Amino acid sequence: MSIIYVLLTISIVVALGFFAAFVISVRSGQYDDTYTPSVRMLFEDEVVKESTEDQPIENNDKH
């Protein structure tokens, strides 16, 4: 039973170590995207689909 406590303690310490490494790397700018903003103006614009709101509504009521 004591080995479970030891393994649980070790796993929590390892998890906290990975979490601390992640937080430090985010704060230091490791995941900042410096390439995309500089070439964003070179990308093609997406085609905008025309809305169907301007088309006349067909009335199929035959009274």
pLDDT band per the 50, 70, 90 thresholds, residue 5: very high
pLDDT digits 0-9 by tens, 8-62: 999 999 999 999 999 999 999 888 887 877 787 777 766 666 666 656 666 666 6
pLDDT at site 47: 63
- The Cα–Cα gap between 25 and 27 comes to 5
Q: What is residue 43's DSSP assignment?
A: S
What Rg, from alpha-carbon coordinates, does the chain have?
29
31 CB contacts (<8 Å, ≥6 apart)?
Answer: 25
pLDDT at site 56: 60
Query: Would you state the structure tokens that stand for residue 25, as one six-digit string?
Result: 């790397």
